[in-house]
Structure 1
Amino acid sequence: MQLRFLGGAREVGRSAILVNERLLLDFGMLTGNPPQFPVATPTPEAVVVSHGHLDHVGAIPSLLSGSARPSIHWTPPTAELAHTLATDTLKLHGGTLACPFTENDRKRVTEVSETHGYREPFEAAGHEVTFYNAGHIPGSAHVLVDDGDTRLLYTGDFHTDDQRLVAGTTARPDADAVLCESTYADVDHEDRNEVERRFVESVETTLWEGGTVVVPAFAIGRTQEILMICAAHDVPCYVDGMGKQVTEMLRRYPSYLRDPEAFRRAKSHARFVTGRDGQRRRIIDQRAAIITTSGMLSGGPAMSYIPEIRANPTNKITMTGYQVEGTPGRDLLETGRADIGGRIMAVSAGVEQYDFSAHADADGLRTFLDDYAGCEVLVNHGDRCEWFADRLRADGFDARAPERAATVVV
């Protein structure tokens, strides 16, 4: 089996792997100014998508910009999430170099879309493909690809521990080679229950003191996880930004949620912001947690809330996800200042960070890979891929970390 790494190799973002020149696994974008895309736009016969995050699906519509019409395979939630993200990308960047596709390209995606459940084998570009629950976000999948000679397990992004939103992966399908993500290969996550306890205690203390808490969160997965935490601990909360639409959509896919009833209660507990008639300004005085995009403070309704609460030390900003270097969220954590909506602002409000990661950490990755000790392991989707591959080799694995644009045979 031949693999060509068009993105996601020794980096986090723009994942894209071409299998046997016929089957494409993911086709994402790397957010930034400007965004970055895979190093080539291939013409595969079929595309298989692991999950609905921008770094894995963000450039999918561009594959349909010419006469090519590859079939696109994903789980039902991933198909809808990809549609939502493409619509948002067009809204933000349509008609610019930051967007590699048009509205017509986006519409064509629905014409070639084919959805599949977990553990339901299907054919794509002459390969047998099977999805397995990856425990990352609703609809996320490990992708098992069989070309008749080699069985490749593409892990996609995955988590081995339970979250409130989704259960951790337990799938370990037989494979000859594993293409494994390594986002947190050098990190040990703090116990999730302890992270949740500290987060809730901090928010409740701030609200009791008369403050407001802005909770920047990714729209897909993290927003829903935080609102479920707030509901479980009876913390008053509002939800703003794209996370509102995603929350509504996920209710239609209860089989992809860990606890559909808890999710329903959480949605009922939260108040959804319409943004009309000065509502956001009024909410700031409500002594509540405001869960809003964007998770790295690079846009979204957070641009309305941060300027209003930044000067009062009683207020708080709680970051809930990884902050990429160079983003306003990272700058705020490191310097107490950030570019918010085009203005550099000093922030006197408290700033905290909590590790609610939906990725396996160092121990989770090793526990997963221990079941594939006799397989060839290719490491991707990480900032320290080479380091992790070296560690695996030292422990007896046949492991390597391909470079971007490299072609390898497994």
Structure 2
Amino acid sequence: MQIEFLGGAREVGRSAILVNDSLLLDYGMATGNPPSYPVSDPDPDAVVVSHGHLDHVGALPSLLSGDARPPIHWTPPTRELTTVLARDTIKLHGGSYDCPFTETEVKRLSQVSETHGYRETFSAAGHEVTFFDAGHIPGSAHVLVDDGETRFLYTADFHTEDTQLLSGTTARPEADIVLCESTYSDVEHSPRKSVEQSFAESAKTTIWEGGTVVVPAFAIGRTQEMLMVCEAHDMDCYVDGMGQQVTKIARRYPDFVRDAAALRRAKSNARFVTGRDGQRKRIADQNTVVVTTSGMLTGGPAMTYVPAVRANPTNKITMTGYQVDGTPGRNLLDRGRAEIDGQMMAVSAQVESYDFSAHADRDGLLDFLDSYRDAEILVNHGDRCEDFAEELRDDGYDASAPELGAVVIDDGDASDGTRET
């Protein structure tokens, strides 16, 4: 088996892995201005997609330009989420840089789509492929690829702890090579129940004191999680932005969430915002919780809510996810000010951060990998891939962190191991 790293190696973003020059796993983009894409333009015979986040699917429609029509294999929620993200990419960025695809390519996604459930083996580009629930977002999957000689497990993004929205992954399929994400390889998450309780107590205190709680949240996964947390703790809330559409998508696939009835109750508890006639500014004056995109304050309805609540110290802005260096969300946490819609704003409202991560932490990664002590471990999707690979080697693993553009070759002979070119 030959594994080529076109993106996501020693970095977070633009994940893309080419197997045997024929099967492409994911094809994402790294957000930025301008964004970055995988380092080559592959011409695969088939594509397999792990889940519907931009860093894994952001460039996917560009594979369907010209005469290329490779089949795309994914779970049903991933298919829908990818289409939503693609159209949002055109809407938000089509005029500010050369968007790598058009609406024509987005429409072609449905023409080549082949959906599969978990643990249903299918054929793709001459390989046997199986999805396993990864516990990251609705429809997310570990991808097991078997070429007849080598069993290759691409973990993609995964979580080992149960959340309100999803059950943590329990899948440990046999594999000769494991390509493992390492996003939080040096972080230990607090227990999810205690994080939820701290958030709920803080939000209720603000509401009792006459304030408004703005909760910037990623549209996919995080928004639904926060709506379920609010419902579970008897808090009314509003939901705004793309998270509304994603919530409706998640409701259509009850088999891909932990508790479909609880998600239904959370959706019923939340009031959907239309954004018409100054509605957002009126909501910002209420004693309530507002869950809104974007999670890092880089756009979306948050651009209305944050300026509206920033001057009152009783109000609160609660960040619920990782904030990339240089983003307004990170600047707000570190400096108490942020550039919102091109204007630097000081914020007197209270600013808090809660770790609602959908990734496995260090303990989760090590627990997962403990099942693969006899396998070759390749580390990717992280800011410290080399360090984590070294730590694994110190613990007895055969581990490495391939560079961007590297090719790892395994001939199926366990005595020879792998080599990188």
TM-score (structure 2 length as normaliser):
0.97
CA drift at 1:153: 0.3
Partner SS for 1:220? coil
Say if 1:2 and 1:408, in contact at 8 Å, map to a contact too.
yes
Aligned partner of 2:218 in structure 1 is: 218
Aligned partner of 1:74 in structure 2 is: 74
Partner Cα separation in structure 2 for residue 109 and residue 37 of structure 1: 19
CA drift at 1:7: 0.5
Say if 1:216 and 1:319, in contact at 8 Å, map to a contact too.
yes
Aligned partner of 2:416 in structure 1 is: none
Aligned partner of 2:132 in structure 1 is: 132
Say if 1:379 and 1:385, in contact at 8 Å, map to a contact too.
yes
Aligned partner of 1:107 in structure 2 is: 107
CA drift at 1:127: 0.5
**Is 1:65 aligned to 2:60, yes or no?**
no
CA drift at 1:161: 0.6
**Is 1:54 aligned to 2:69, yes or no?**
no
CA drift at 1:268: 0.3
Partner Cα separation in structure 2 for residue 214 and residue 178 of structure 1: 40
Partner Cα separation in structure 2 for residue 142 and residue 13 of structure 1: 17
Aligned partner of 2:417 in structure 1 is: none
Deviations 1:359-401 (A, max 9, x none): 0000000000000000000000000000000000000000000
Aligned partner of 2:265 in structure 1 is: 265
Say if 1:236 and 1:270, in contact at 8 Å, map to a contact too.
yes
Aligned partner of 2:157 in structure 1 is: 157
CA drift at 1:249: 1.2
Partner SS for 1:190? coil
Whichever residue aligns with residue 216 of structure 1, its letter is P
Whichever residue aligns with residue 42 of structure 1, its letter is P
How many aligned positions are there? 410
Q: How does 1:8-407 map to 2 (within 5 A)?
A: 8-407=8-407
Deviations 1:48-99 (A, max 9, x none): 0000111001100001112111110000000000000001001111255352
Partner Cα separation in structure 2 for residue 266 and residue 390 of structure 1: 43
CA drift at 1:281: 1.0
Deviations 1:152-194 (A, max 9, x none): 0000100011011010000111110100000000000011111
Partner SS for 1:144? strand
Partner Cα separation in structure 2 for residue 90 and residue 7 of structure 1: 22
Partner SS for 1:296? coil
Partner SS for 1:13? coil
Deviations 1:308-339 (A, max 9, x none): 11011111100000001111101111111111
Partner SS for 1:17? strand
Partner SS for 1:152? strand
Partner Cα separation in structure 1 for residue 225 and residue 98 of structure 2: 30
Partner SS for 1:162? coil
Q: % of aligned pairs identical?
A: 72
Say if 1:178 and 1:378, in contact at 8 Å, map to a contact too.
yes
TM-score (structure 1 length as normaliser):
0.99
Whichever residue aligns with residue 296 of structure 2, its letter is M
Partner SS for 1:123? strand
Partner Cα separation in structure 1 for residue 401 and residue 68 of structure 2: 31
Partner Cα separation in structure 2 for residue 296 and residue 50 of structure 1: 23
Partner Cα separation in structure 2 for residue 340 and residue 330 of structure 1: 12
Deviations 1:100-154 (A, max 9, x none): 1111111111110100000000000010000000011110000000011100000
Partner Cα separation in structure 2 for residue 225 and residue 346 of structure 1: 29
- Alpha carbons of 1:23 and 1:359: their partners in 2 closer, same or farther (altered >3 Å)? same
Partner Cα separation in structure 2 for residue 325 and residue 41 of structure 1: 29
CA drift at 1:346: 0.6
Partner Cα separation in structure 2 for residue 57 and residue 236 of structure 1: 33
Partner Cα separation in structure 2 for residue 243 and residue 164 of structure 1: 16
**Is 1:7 aligned to 2:44, yes or no?**
no
Whichever residue aligns with residue 37 of structure 1, its letter is Y
Deviations 1:267-292 (A, max 9, x none): 00000000011111110122111000
Deviations 1:227-257 (A, max 9, x none): 0000011111000000000001111100001
Partner Cα separation in structure 2 for residue 301 and residue 330 of structure 1: 18
Whichever residue aligns with residue 374 of structure 2, its letter is G
- Alpha carbons of 1:231 and 1:37: their partners in 2 closer, same or farther (altered >3 Å)? same
Aligned partner of 1:408 in structure 2 is: 408
Partner SS for 1:118? coil
Say if 1:95 and 1:102, in contact at 8 Å, map to a contact too.
no
Whichever residue aligns with residue 86 of structure 1, its letter is A
Partner Cα separation in structure 2 for residue 287 and residue 73 of structure 1: 45
Whichever residue aligns with residue 270 of structure 1, its letter is A
Partner Cα separation in structure 2 for residue 183 and residue 121 of structure 1: 28
Partner Cα separation in structure 1 for residue 182 and residue 11 of structure 2: 10
Whichever residue aligns with residue 272 of structure 2, its letter is F
Partner SS for 1:264? helix
CA drift at 1:409: 1.2
Unpaired segments ≥5 residues, structure 2 = 411-421
Partner Cα separation in structure 1 for residue 102 and residue 138 of structure 2: 27
Partner Cα separation in structure 1 for residue 348 and residue 131 of structure 2: 47
Partner Cα separation in structure 2 for residue 142 and residue 249 of structure 1: 21
Could you list the structure 1 runs, at least 4 aligned residues long, displaced by more than 3 angstroms after superposition: none
Whichever residue aligns with residue 257 of structure 1, its letter is V
Partner Cα separation in structure 2 for residue 320 and residue 22 of structure 1: 38
Whichever residue aligns with residue 293 of structure 1, its letter is T
- Alpha carbons of 1:280 and 1:202: their partners in 2 closer, same or farther (altered >3 Å)? same
Whichever residue aligns with residue 222 of structure 2, its letter is R
Say if 1:35 and 1:98, in contact at 8 Å, map to a contact too.
no
The alignment yields a C-alpha RMSD, in angstroms, of 0.7
Partner Cα separation in structure 2 for residue 115 and residue 195 of structure 1: 35
